[in-house]
């Protein structure tokens, strides 16, 4: 089945040769905090509400936030959120923290539109709001720390796959659910980029496996059994699906015959990379992402990061660039390989 999903947003594939698209200068389109008290240099209380808690990825961002808070010294940060990626519960969590009176909110949105009203409420209550990982509508938060742009991730994934399975290879995708916004965007961008730059590659199908280890494994295994030698590569779209797909390939004895490329955290992938079953894992460093988000929030609270700024200082990460009006770019996605994967621990 071909990909029909995602959202109605236009895709914007990057140039095949990797020349960066000229950044479009865009005026600040974030939201404004009303009646923000003077927080400059004062201790602040911050809550981080990720999409869900209890998965490796958000454990890592949460660690980055904690690291940054400790480094800054004047931030009291904690992470709390739903146990399932559920828009409604996430909203309730944020709402409760607004009532309890925090100074800053960090979030990774389960749904950009659904989360907007409650974030606007936070802004109206004088709370600094910064997103990371998954954006909301721009005017519902001040800043968004973008780990890597959708089209950048798409390019990185598809290029890596093409390198491993050849320009005429066939591949399939294992994703969480078709409704997860980030994954849906990535897949749309991947489709567009593959069409444009690797037109002979064949996209076999996309299967859903929720954020469930064993289900991902079963789905990937079935893909291998179904397509046999036709299947040259599997994309894992989540930090759950990628190791499970690698496991499926391993247990099917297809290492080296079926490539696994995907978004994943290094720790979960180390065994497969070590055994050469997986050659490249694409991801930014989620610890850095959380770290940058925390610094951005602090800067916004201090009044150092104002609309119109072109960069922000983020501790050990240095200066980060502002793009798209109100987004802060963490950097290009990172490709973990056998050579460097053991340098990371998250």
Partner 1 sequence: MTATLRSLLRHETILAILLVIVLAALATQSDRFFTTANLLNQGRLMTEVGLVALAMTFVIVTGGIDLSVGSILGLTAILLGVFWHNLGLPLPAAMVLAVLAGGIGGLINGLIITRFKVPPLIATLATLALYRGLAEGISQARSVRGYPEWFFVLGQGEVWGVPTQLWILGVLVIIAAVILGLTTFGRATYATGANETGARFSGIGVDRTKMLIYTASGLVAGVAGVIFVSRVSTTRSDMGTGLELDVITAVVLGGTSIFGGRGTIIGTVLGLILMQALKNGLALSGVKGDGTIVVIGLVLILAIVASNIFSRNGDG
Partner 2 sequence: MSMSAPAAARPAPPMRLLKRVAAYGQEFILLGAIAALFIVVGIISPRFFGANNISNIFAGNAYIAVAAIGMSLVIISGHIDVAVGSLIGVLATISGLLAVNGYPIWLAWLAPVLIGIVVNAGVGSLVAYLRIPSIVVTLGMLSILKGGLISVTAGAWITNLPEDYLIAQFRLLGVPSPVWFMVILTALVAFWMRYSSFGRTIYAIGGNVEAARVAGIQVERSTVIVFAIHGAFAGIAAVLFATQLQVIQSTVPPNLELTVITASVVGGVSILGGTGTVIGSTLAAILFAAIASSLIFLNVSAYWLRSVQGLLILITVLADMARRRRLR
Q: Which residues contribute to the site for partner 1 (CB under 8 A)?
A: 4-8, 53, 78, 80-84, 86-89, 91-93, 95-97, 99-101, 111, 113-117, 177-179, 184
Which residues 104-133 are close enough to bind partner 2 by CB under 8 A? none
Rounded Cα distance between 171 and 201, Å, is 8
Rama region for 122: left / alpha / beta (φ>0; ψ in -120 to 50; rest): alpha
Rounded Cα distance between 124 and 121, Å, is 5
With CB under 5 to 8 Å by kind, the binding choice for 179 among partner 2, partner 1, none is: partner 1
Cβ 100 to partner 1, closest distance in Å? 5
Helical H segments across the chain, by residue range: 56-72, 87-100, 116-124, 150-165, 181-197, 213-227, 241-251, 266-274, 286-302
Residue selected from 214, 316, 337, 342 as contacting partner 2 according to rule CB under 8 A: 214
CA-CA distances (angstroms) from residue 182 to 14, 225, 239?
17, 28, 13
Segment contacting partner 2 by CB under 8 A, of 25-33, 99-107, 147-155, 265-273 = 265-273
With CB under 5 to 8 Å by kind, the binding choice for 80 among partner 1, partner 2, none is: partner 1
Cβ 331 to partner 1, closest distance in Å? 29
Cβ proximity to partner 1: between 6 and 266 the closer is 6
Rounded Cα distance between 189 and 10, Å, is 9
Indicate whether 271 belongs to the interface with partner 2 (CB under 8 A): yes
Question: 33-72 mask for partner 2 (x: CB under 8 A)?
Answer: --------------------xxxx-xx-------------
Q: Is 101 exposed, middle or buried (0-12, 13-18, 19+ CB in 10 A)?
A: exposed
Q: What is the CA radius of gyration of the chain?
A: 20
CA 282 from chain center: how many Å? 11
With CB under 5 to 8 Å by kind, the binding choice for 117 among partner 1, partner 2, none is: partner 1
Secondary structure of 142-194 in HEC code, one letter for each residue: CEEEECCCHHHHHHHHHHHHHHHHCCCCEEEEEECCCCCHHHHHHHHHHHHHH
Segment contacting partner 2 by CB under 8 A, of 37-45, 129-137, 266-274, 285-293 = 266-274
Cβ proximity to partner 1: between 34 and 99 the closer is 99
Sign of the torsion angle spanned by Cα atoms 223, 187, 21, 138 = negative
Cβ proximity to partner 2: between 55 and 87 the closer is 55
Q: Contact, 60 vs 239, CB < 8 A?
A: no
Rounded Cα distance between 290 and 211, Å, is 21
Cβ proximity to partner 2: between 211 and 327 the closer is 211
Cβ 50 to partner 1, closest distance in Å? 11
Cβ 65 to partner 1, closest distance in Å? 15
What one-character-per-residue DSSP string does 46-60 give?
A: EEEE-S-SSSHHHHH
Cβ proximity to partner 1: between 99 and 225 the closer is 99
DSSP-derived secondary structure letter, 117: H
Question: 158-197 mask for partner 2 (x: CB under 8 A)?
Answer: --------------------x-------------------
Residue selected from 110, 188, 221, 296 as contacting partner 2 according to rule CB under 8 A: 221
Question: 68-97 mask for partner 2 (x: CB under 8 A)?
Answer: ---------------xx-------------
Query: Which residues would be at the binding site for partner 2 (CB under 8 A)?
Result: 1, 4-5, 53-56, 58-59, 83-84, 178, 205-208, 210-215, 217-219, 221-228, 240, 243-244, 247, 251-252, 267-268, 270-271
């Amino acid at each position: 089945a071909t990909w029909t999903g995602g959202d109605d947003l236009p895709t914007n594939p990057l140039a095949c040769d990797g020349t960066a698209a000229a950044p479009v200068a865009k005026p600040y389109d974030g939201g404004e905090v009303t009646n923000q008290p003077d927080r400059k240099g004062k201790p602040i209380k911050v809550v981080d509400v990720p999409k869900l808690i209890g998965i490796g990825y958000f454990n890592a961002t949460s660690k980055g936030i904690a690291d940054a808070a400790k480094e800054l010294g004047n931030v009291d940060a904690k992470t709390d959120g739903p146990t399932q990626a559920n828009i409604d519960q996430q909203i309730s969590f944020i709402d409760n923290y607004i009532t309890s009176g925090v100074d800053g909110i960090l979030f990774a949105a389960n749904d950009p539109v659904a989360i907007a009203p409650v974030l606007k409420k936070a802004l109206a209550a004088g709370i600094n709001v910064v997103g990371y990982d998954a954006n909301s509508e721009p005017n519902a938060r001040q800043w968004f720390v973008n780990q890597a742009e959708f089209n950048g991730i798409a390019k990185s994934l598809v290029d890596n796959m093409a390198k491993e399975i050849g320009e005429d290879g066939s591949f399939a995708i294992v994703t969480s659910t078709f409704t997860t916004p980030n994954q849906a965007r990535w897949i749309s961008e991947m489709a567009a980029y593959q069409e444009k730059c690797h037109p002979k590659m064949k996209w076999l199908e996309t299967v859903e496996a929720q954020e469930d280890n064993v289900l991902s494994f079963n789905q990937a295994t079935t893909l291998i059994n179904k397509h046999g030698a036709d299947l040259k590569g599997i994309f894992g779209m989540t930090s759950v699906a990628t190791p499970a797909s690698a496991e499926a390939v391993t247990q099917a004895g297809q290492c080296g015959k079926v490539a696994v490329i995907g978004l994943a955290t290094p720790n979960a992938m180390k065994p497969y990379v070590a055994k050469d079953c997986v050659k490249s894992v694409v991801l930014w460093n989620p610890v850095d992402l959380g770290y940058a988000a925390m610094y951005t929030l602090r800067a916004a609270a201090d009044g150092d990061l104002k609309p119109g700024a072109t960069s922000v200082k983020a501790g050990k990460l240095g200066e980060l660039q502002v793009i798209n009006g109100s987004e802060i770019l963490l950097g290009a996605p990172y490709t973990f390989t056998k050579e460097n994967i053991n340098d990371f621990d998250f």
